[in-house]
Amino acid sequence: MTEKKVEKIVEPKKKKVAIVGFAGTRDQAPFADPEFEIWIVNNLHQFVPKVDRMFEIHQRWTWDGQLHGKPADEHVKFMQTCNIPVYNCQVFPDIPRSIRFPLETMIEEFGMQRTGFANPEWRDGYFTNTISYMIALAIYEKFEVIEIYGVDMAVGTEYNEQRPSCEYYIGIAKGRGIDIRLPAASDLLKNRFHYGFEDDKIHAWREKVKKTVTEMEQRKLQSDQVVRQQQSISDKYEGAITAVREMDSRWGEN
């Protein structure tokens, strides 16, 4: 990177931070523990009892309408009136505590150098979601404990596209001696079997899944057959109703 590091805008006053997302494990976060800073994403402030910093990195046009079932204008009003740091993708003049997230500093600190570029000092950033920004900043600010709640990333795009970068920064944190704590329900850093050592368990699991799917397919076929039979009966009644109405239209008025 050719850009200089920006100074830290917020100096952490505590040694522990809880990063909180929207998934169900958010309720396990240590909101009542005075040793923790509570960092939240987007409009989660409308659902939790305490916030020390919030991260709304999305472009402003995405703040319209409903956000997680809550009016977006209430979210904006909170950012405009709150007395906590609000990290955005740029500084918004109408949000007094707005801070541009120090992306360049994070890339310089954690980015990967790649071969084949004219500038050998150029680094490639790896951020696919807000949580990865938050973990990186917590590492950079030298928190000693990072706990992560409401970030299960078990299915869909969260699992496929967002989870890897979060695990990348968790790995960096562990490598720097930071105590990382995750709830049991989170899929971050979780595997069902240990590669190589538990091939027999993998085989047993796959056989169980195969058997279960086969049984469900058979039951579905039986159910489909019942549906077709019932549909046939229904079609007969529909035909009879139509015939009776036709008779009535022809002879009912004579």
Place of tokens 């958010």: 26
Contact 168, 180 (CB under 8 A): no
The per-residue pLDDT for 9 is: 56
Measured distance CA(3)–CA(1) in Å, rounded: 6
The per-residue pLDDT for 196 is: 83
The per-residue pLDDT for 97 is: 94
Of 185, 109, 178, 172, nearest to 146 by C-alpha is 178
Backbone angles phi, psi at 6, to 5 degrees: -85, 150
The per-residue pLDDT for 5 is: 45
The helix/strand/coil state of 38 is strand
- CA distances (Å), origin 166, targets 12, 104, 203: 21, 18, 29
Task: Calculate ∠ Cα 148-184-198, nearest 5°.
Answer: 120
pTM: 0.76
Q: What is the mean pLDDT for each group of 10 consecutive residues in the chain (254 residues)?
A: 47 88 92 96 94 94 79 91 94 94 93 76 85 96 95 62 88 96 87 81 81 87 87 84 80 60
Look up residue 155 and give its two tokens.
Answer: 């299915």
Q: At residue 117, what is the residue type?
A: F
As a 3-state breakdown, the chain gives helix, strand, coil percent values, each rounded to 5, of 45, 15, 40
The per-residue pLDDT for 187 is: 83
Of 185, 186, 149, 169, nearest to 33 by C-alpha is 149
Measured distance CA(47)–CA(44) in Å, rounded: 5
Measured distance CA(183)–CA(173) in Å, rounded: 17
The per-residue pLDDT for 118 is: 73
Measured distance CA(100)–CA(110) in Å, rounded: 18
Summary count for the chain: helices (H), strands (E): 6, 11
The helix/strand/coil state of 233 is helix
